[in-house]
Amino acid sequence: MSDHDKETTENIEKSMQESHGVSKEEYERSVDKKIEVEKKREKDHKENKDLTNEINTKIKK
């Protein structure tokens, strides 16, 4: 594994822990954790998209 690959893996692990409270290994191993994480990601994405649309609407006025 190259240094870049190791760094990428470490960044993914850190992000999973900070954002979702689970390790990459736990995410990959548990279907329930995957569903939980992906639902949260989907919710966050929708909230950010709605906020972006709201801001863009206000800018255009």
Q: Of 38, 8, 45, which Cα lies nearest the Cα of 22? A: 38
| Average pLDDT value for the chain | 91
State the chain's maximal CA–CA distance in angstroms: 52
What is the total count of domains within the chain? Answer: 1
Confidence (pLDDT) at 22: 92
pTM assigned to the model: 0.72
Query: Encoding tokens for residue 52?
Result: 């972006």
Contact 24, 12 (CB under 8 A): yes
Q: In this predicted model, what pLDDT tens digit does every residue of 31-52 receive, in sequence order?
A: 999 999 999 999 999 999 999 9
Q: What are phi and psi of 2, to 5 degrees?
A: -75, 165
Per-residue pLDDT at 9 exceeds 90: no
60 CB-side CA count, 13 A: 6
Its domain, for residue 28, covers 3-60
